[in-house]
Amino acid sequence: MSDDIHKLKQEIEDFTIQKTSCESRINELRNQEDPAAGKFHHEEIFSLQQEKLRLQVEIEFRENKINRLMMEA
């Protein structure tokens, strides 16, 4: 069972890195926008926000699974 928990924690770490990368890219795109020049990145920002939310759900799912495994032990 501890192997399962270790695997889940590794997955959480991987998803967290991906989520941080998404957040960083979102901030970069927002800083690059220039409304006066008509330069917007709304579609890419929206897509990245959706991906960030998906990653957060994956993280929470694994955290809940770890908690269930620990309660069963």
- Delimit the domains of the chain by residue range: 2-72
Task: Please state, in angstroms and rounded to a whole number, the distance separating the CA atoms of residues 73 and 69.
Answer: 6
pLDDT in tens, 11-48: 999 999 999 999 999 999 999 999 999 999 999 999 99
Does 56 have pLDDT greater than 70?
yes
Q: Provide the CB-side half-sphere exposure for 41 (13 A, CA).
A: 15
Look up the pTM and report it. 0.89
pLDDT of residue 72: 87
Does 73 have pLDDT greater than 80?
no
